């Protein structure tokens, strides 16, 4: 199995397209659409997903592809800490894609937004363009690879062998639920029918493949 870093170096769009069952037959819709659901009511803020992502994807020091935001919420006299895992939301209409001047960003048929490092120049102005375009601030510039742009891709190398993304696999509270929304089953299928399911920026009409169950 190739590492994710090798996928980036060799051109993730071409290599991933060959590895994963994502291409539809001519005139047919793909049978695979990956989605992640984050249940904020389950998240404990333990940061296990953050560490697993960093280790799995060989992220540069002091940089992260996924983070857990922590804030205090007060109801009357009672205060509590609440947590929200964040990262790339795999937008249906990615703003980073249209902002990239070198056409290094693409959206695969399976819903994942990927960056091809054989096309990415990694120059500061370029990274600012696609990074600032992202409403979720999900992109980083990897200083070890000439500042090439990086972000979560649902652990594409793990999907190759039918494993789940690292953050999903390690979450002790099962706050992240992942699957193919076009062949959904079990808990994932039930979550897809949840009446409160929404995108992180639903108020801005940004449709994404990562969705959230809000705090009760």
**Percentages helix, strand, coil for the chain, rounded to the nearest 5?**
30, 25, 45
- How do residues 61-101 score in pLDDT, each as one tens digit? 999 999 999 999 988 889 999 999 999 999 999 999 999 99
Quick one: CATH architecture of 4-213? 2-Layer Sandwich (3.30)
Q: Which helix (H) or strand (E) holds 178?
A: strand 176-180
Judge contact between 21 and 160, C-beta under 8 A: no
Judge contact between 103 and 153, C-beta under 8 A: no
Look at residue 15 in the predicted model and tell me its pLDDT: 52
Interatomic CA distance for residues 150 and 53, integer angstroms: 13
- How do residues 7-57 score in pLDDT, each as one tens digit? 776 776 555 555 444 444 455 678 999 999 999 999 999 999 999 999 999
C-alpha neighbours within 13 Å on the C-beta side of residue 51: 7
Domain boundaries, the chain: 4-213
- How do residues 131-162 score in pLDDT, each as one tens digit? 899 999 999 999 999 999 999 999 999 998 99
């Amino acid at each position: 199995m190739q590492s994710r870093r090798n996928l980036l170096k060799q051109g993730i769009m071409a290599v991933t397209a060959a590895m994963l069952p994502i291409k539809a037959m001519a005139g047919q819709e793909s049978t695979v659409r990956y989605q992640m659901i984050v249940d904020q009511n389950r998240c404990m803020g333990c940061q296990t997903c953050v560490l697993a992502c960093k280790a799995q994807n060989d992220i540069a020091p002091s940089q992260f592809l996924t983070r857990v935001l922590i804030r205090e919420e007060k109801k009357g006299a009672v205060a509590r800490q609440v947590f929200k895992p964040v990262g790339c939301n795999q937008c249906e209409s990615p703003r980073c894609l249209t902002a990239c001047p070198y056409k290094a960003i693409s959206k695969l048929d399976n819903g994942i937004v990927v960056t091809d490092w054989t096309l990415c120049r990694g120059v500061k102005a370029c990274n600012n363009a696609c990074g600032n375009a992202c409403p979720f601030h999900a992109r980083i510039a990897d200083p070890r690879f000439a500042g090439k742009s990086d972000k979560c891709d649902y652990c594409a190398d793990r999907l190759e062998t039918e494993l789940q993304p690292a953050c999903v696999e390690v979450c002790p509270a099962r706050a992240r639920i992942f699957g193919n929304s076009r062949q959904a089953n079990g808990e994932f299928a039930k979550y897809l029918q949840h009446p409160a399911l929404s995108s992180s920026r639903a108020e801005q009409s940004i449709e994404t493949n990562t969705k959230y169950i809000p705090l009760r």
